Amino acid sequence: MSESSLRLVWVYPDLLSTYGDQGNALVVERRAVQRRVPVTRVDVRSDHAVPTSGDIYLIGGGEDRPQRLAAERLRRDGGLNRAVANGAIVFSVCAGYQILGHEFINDLGRPEPGLGLLDVVSTRGEGDRCVGDVLADIDPQLGLPPLTGFENHQGITHLGPTTRPLARLRVGRGNGTGDGTEGAFNDTVFGTYMHGPVMARNPHIADLLIKLALDVNALPPVDDQWYDALRAERIAAAVQPA
Amino acid sequence: MAANSEPLSPRAKLAVTAGRAAAAVSRAAGKGSGSVIGGKVALRFDPDLLARLARHLDVVLVSATNGKTTTTRLLAEALRAGGPVVSNALGANMPAGITSALAGGSDARFGVIEVDEKYLAGVARDVAPKAIALLNLSRDQLDRAAETRMLAEKWREGLAGSEAIIIANADDPLITWAASSSPTVVWVAAGQSWKDDAWSCPSCGGVLQRPDDDWYCGECGFRRPTPTWALSGDHVVDPYGVAWPIHLQLPGRANKSNAAMSAAVAAAFGIDPKVALERMFKVQAVAGRYDVVSFLQRDLRLLLAKNPAGWLETFSLIDGPPTPVILSVNARGADGTDTSWLWDVDYTRLAGHPIMVIGDRKLDLAVRLEVAGLQFRVCANLDEAVRAAPPGRIEAIANYTAFQDLRRRVGN
């Protein structure tokens, strides 16, 4: 953590920002500023080097070809791996989640190496896309209320022994493996298939990242009335689809 | 091609008749105009009917993410200077709706047809159009998996070798990619405010450089083609460098862009830009869009914005603060069920406006606006939102089904 402000890095918005992914950056930024923590947000396009001095890195969802291009450029760049080695926090969504793993299937149907920051391997499902509202219980170790989100993907992500599922599904397909898991995490690196965007539906995850970055156990409360109302509505919708 | 040079076959006539009967039944049952069901029935009688109906017409297809209905209206009005026009003016833009519209215009010389993006290549094959206008491509209905880039690729494959004159917006890299496989392209600098779906090169994947209004790929050299037509402020500049004034009743930059594209298309059909543009002035509201209606002693302007690019254009045309703004968002099937796109819309542009929020997904909007740091009021319905504003003008911006809900409530 740098002394002056929270450094928030949004990785490759030119390639991985198809599903309102900017929302995650906006929510983290907003909730830090509401706690009087100044934020420096850096949006890194894929023709620029990923800075290694960030506190929180966000990486979002995208189409198949941009996903391959992003993986190629991130491997070549090496900045994100160096940042994680320095203890940085990474939160990834959908295509970004797959990139953080060891391998995924690219747009050409071939295995594409990821960054190996999460012990997961992704393949592509044969059936219909997973589309719809999801409800899941987040790993109790993280002490967070239930996860709500919108999934929209065809991926299947298998977790290796050194990573834990981010959540256990009540409704939805999540990792698509049929074992009831959704997402993965390992120390400071997180992955999920949830859109919505996920931070708008789960502001406590944004708070968790801020706490990890600041190395504090608690943050001053903020007015969560609209987040709470949205969560209640979407959780009800997941349990009982219209 | 002259109108009605060859009569319809008995089979095609039967198909048209059966379609009309089905449409009439649908109307009588109170189920809309019946154009889609009519078209479906007619196509079942004669699967080649669309091609047969189009053979009698000089056809232009219009496709885009945004502006296709309005452009179709502007263009139909312009081409009427040259003869009778048949058009799917109500926006039924898939093959059944198009068939139904064409079946209703046996005396027409021109067919001006709006086509859903996903059906463009197929319809272009069926109707052998004289021209195709391609306006813009951007993210829309994310849960449908017809991702923007893939769509551009499909257009490119479908239009390669087409004999139609392609009239394409050179300011949109995805449109340029889609059009540039065709032998005959008229490039129009029609502008593009939304840039976030084309930062990577459609040809090689390199990062696009976008200084001012230009764009190019630094890696493979794919770049903005030199336009022969251009939208320049309130004028359309034709290939001879003559600037023609645009006078529209429709507001906003996006509609000037639609008019510029329409003028270029009209020219391909032999209609003078001056004549074409003068005729476009007649177009008022398009399927309720831009209509101003009196409701509960306020003047409500109805604005449709279906996706981030559409919202961006809409914000640029609304009256400034303190004009109140009502925002309504649904996420039903026709809207796309994923609301994540709300986060691609820069709502900070509404700072200073009183904001009322309604619609099925008003809570998603509430969180979005809270994070944008805006003041807003969540209301149960349109009436409550309207009553929260003082008498006078209100701008009501809604996405697809939310817009239909608005129209129904105000009796538009």
Distance CA B26, CA B13 (A): 20
What is the per-residue pLDDT across A81-128, written as a single tens digit (0 to 9) for each?
Answer: 999 999 999 999 999 999 999 999 999 999 999 999 999 999 998 888
Q: What is the layout of strands, in order, in the sheet containing B85-87? A: B85-87, B110-114, B58-63, B131-134, B165-169, B185-189, B229-232, B235-237, B243-245
The residues pairing with B295 across neighbouring beta strands, listed in sequence order, are B298
Q: What is the pLDDT of residue A164?
A: 98
Q: Are residues B200 and A152, on separate chains, in Cβ contact within 8 Å?
A: no
A130 given a catalytic annotation: no
Residue B182: DSSP 8-state: S
- Separation CA B202–CA B151 (nearest Å): 11
Which residue out of B338, B346, B364, B405 is catalytically annotated?
Answer: B338
Q: What is the pLDDT of residues B161-205, one digit of tens each?
A: 899 999 999 999 999 999 999 999 999 999 999 988 889 899 998
Q: Which residue of A has its CA nearest to B218?
A: A47
Point out which residues pair with B167 in neighbouring strands: B133, B186
> 3-state class of B301 per DSSP?
strand
**Residue B92, pLDDT above cutoff 90:** no
Tell me what the pLDDT averaged over chain B comes to. Answer: 91
B350: left (phi over 0), alpha (psi -120 to 50) or beta: alpha
Is the N-terminal amide bond of A197 cis, ω within 30° of 0? yes
Q: Is B179 left (phi over 0), alpha (psi -120 to 50) or beta?
A: alpha
For the B292-410 domain, the top CATH level (class) is: alpha beta
Token readout for B346 is 């820069």
CATH 3.90.190.20 intervals, chain B = 292-410
Residue B55: per-residue pLDDT: 87
> The tokens of B377 are what?
């009021």
CA dihedral A115, A120, A125, A128 (to 10 degrees): -100
Residue pLDDT, tens place only, B235-277: 999 999 999 999 999 999 999 999 999 999 999 999 999 999 9
Cα–Cα distance measured from residue A74 to residue B31, given in angstroms and rounded to the nearest whole number:
53
Name residues whose C-beta falls within 8 Å of residue A75's C-beta, 6 or more positions apart in sequence: A113, A115
What's the average model confidence in pLDDT over B53-67?
93
Q: Do A45 and B207 touch (CB under 8 A)?
A: yes
Alpha-carbon distance of B285 to B282, in angstroms, equals: 10
Q: Which one, of B85, B82, B92, B6, lies nearest residue B51 by Cα? A: B6
Q: State pLDDT tens for residues B11-52.
A: 777 777 777 767 766 665 555 666 777 777 777 777 788 888
Question: Residues, chain B, total?
Answer: 412
Contact A19 B147 (CB under 8 A): no
Do A227 and A118 form a contact (C-beta atoms < 8 A)?
A: no
Tokens 């393949």 identify what position?
Answer: A123
* Higher pLDDT, residue A27 or B9: A27
Which chain B residues touch A14 with a CB distance below 8 Å? 199-200, 207
Separation CA B279–CA B342 (nearest Å):
36
Domains of chain A: 6-239 (3.40.50.880)
Residue A97 three-state SS: helix
> Which of the four pLDDT bands, split at 50, 70 and 90, describes residue A3?
low
Q: What is the reported pLDDT for A1? A: 43
The closest CB to that of B205, out of A45, A65, A129, belongs to A65
Residues of B in contact with A47 (CB under 8 A): 206-207
- Identity of the residue in B341, B363, B372 whose CB atom sits nearest the CB atom of A229: B363
- Confirm if A176 and A144 have CB atoms less than 8 A apart: no
Check residue A241 and give its pLDDT. Answer: 74
- Cβ atoms of A138 and A194 closer than 8 Å: no
Residues facing B229 on adjacent strands: B188
Q: What is the pLDDT of residue B258?
A: 98
- Strand ordering across the sheet containing B298-304: B292-295, B298-304, B392-398, B325-328, B355-358, B377-378
Interface of A with B in 193-232 (CB under 8 A): 195-197, 200, 226-227, 229-230
Q: What is the 3-state secondary structure (H, E, C) of B110-154?
A: EEEEECCHHHHHHHHHHHCCCEEEECCCCCCCHHHCCCHHHHHHH
Q: Which residues of chain B are in CATH 3.40.1190.10 domains?
A: 10-280
B340 contacts in A (CB within 8 Å)? 19-21, 23, 150, 195-197
Architecture of domain B10-280 in CATH? 3-Layer(aba) Sandwich (3.40)
Say which residue the tokens 């215009």 belong to.
B105
Quick check: A18 and B147 CB within 8 A? yes
Q: How far apart are CA A211 and CA A192, in angstroms?
A: 19
CA–CA dist B254, B312 (Å, integer): 10
Rounded distance, CA B113 to CA A59, Å? 41
pLDDT digits (tens, 9 = 90+) for B330-356: 999 889 899 999 999 999 999 999 999
pLDDT value at B5 more than 50: no
Burial of B348: CB neighbours in 10 Å, binned 0-12, 13-18, 19+ = exposed
**Does position B412 have pLDDT exceeding 90, yes or no?**
no
